[in-house]
Amino acid sequence: MNKAFLLLAALGACTALCAPVRAEHADKEKRDTIPIARVPDVPPPSREKLDASIRKAADFLLGSQNRDGSWGSHTRTKGLNVICPYPEGPRSFRTASTSLCVIGLLASPLKEDPAVKTAVDRAIQYLLTTLPTLKRGDTRTVLGVWGHAYGLSALSRAASNLPVNSPLYAELKKVADLQVKALDQMADVQGGWGYYTFETFSKRPIGEPTSFLTATVLIAYKDAERAFGLKPDPRILKRAVAGLEKLRTPAGSYVYSISHTFYPGRPINRHTGSLARTPAGDLALLLYDPDFISRRQLEDGLERIWSRGGWLSLAVKKPIPHESFAQNAGYFFYYGYYYAARCLSEVPQERLTRHASHLAADLLPMQEKDGSWWDYPLYNYHKFYGTGYALYAVSRVRDSLYPANPASAP
Report whether 32 contacts 300 (CB < 8 A). yes
Q: Are 386 and 370 in contact (CB under 8 A)?
A: no
Spatial separation of the C-alpha atoms in residues 122 and 128, rounded to whole Å: 10
Least confident interval from 20-34, 113-127, 305-319: 20-34
Asked if residues 149 and 93 have their Cβ atoms less than 8 Å apart, the reply is no
Q: pLDDT at residue 328 above 50? A: yes
Q: What mean pLDDT is predicted for residues 8-20?
A: 39
How many Cβ atoms from other residues are within 10 Å of residue 151's Cβ?
Answer: 31
Q: Is the peptide bond before 87 cis (omega within 30 degrees of 0)?
A: yes
* 381 touches 372 (CB < 8 A): no
- pLDDT, one tens digit per residue, over 308-317 is 988 899 999 9
| Helices marked H in 251-370 | 271-274, 278-288, 295-307, 333-343, 349-363
Per-residue pLDDT tens digits for 351-387: 999 999 999 999 999 999 999 999 999 999 999 999 9
Looking at the predicted structure, is the pLDDT value of residue 26 above 60? no
Percent of the chain with pLDDT over 70: 92
* pLDDT score recorded for residue 406: 57
Q: Is the peptide bond before 290 cis (omega within 30 degrees of 0)?
A: no
Residue 5 has pLDDT above 50, yes or no: no
Tallying the residues shown for the chain, one arrives at 410
Q: What is the mean pLDDT of residues 149-176?
A: 97
- In this prediction, residue 197 carries a pLDDT of 86
Check residues 407 and 383 and name the one with the higher pLDDT: 383
Torsion, Cα 219 224 229 233, to 10 degrees, reads: -70
In this structure, are residues 36 and 339 in contact, taking their beta carbons and an 8 Å threshold? no
Residue 311, amino acid: W
Instruction: Look at residue 302 in the predicted model and tell me its pLDDT.
Output: 97
- Contacts (Cβ under 8 Å, ≥6 apart) of 137: 84, 85, 86, 88, 89, 92, 143, 144
Average pLDDT, the chain: 91
Average pLDDT over residues 109-120: 98
Q: Is residue 384 within 8 Å of 101, Cβ to Cβ?
A: yes
pLDDT for 317:
94
- Give me the mean pLDDT over the 276-300 stretch: 97
Average pLDDT over residues 308-336: 92
pLDDT average, residue stretch 291-315: 94
Is the predicted pLDDT of residue 253 greater than 70, yes or no? yes
Distance CA 166, CA 173 (A): 11
Buried b (16+ CB within 10 A) or exposed e, 378-401: bbbbbbbbbbbbbbbbbbbbbbbb
Helix or strand or coil: residue 248? strand
Of 280, 314, 286, 152, nearest to 227 (Cα)?
A: 152
**Number of H-type helices and E-type strands within the chain:** 14, 0
Residue 9 has pLDDT above 60, yes or no: no
Residue 318 C-beta-side C-alpha neighbours within 13 Å: 18
pLDDT of residue 23: 34
Structure confidence at residue 18 (pLDDT): 41
Q: If residue 97 lies in a helix (H) or strand (E), which one and from where to where? A: helix 88-107
pLDDT tens for 67-102 read 999 999 998 877 778 888 888 999 999 999 999 999
Instruction: Judge whether residue 7 has pLDDT over 50.
Output: no
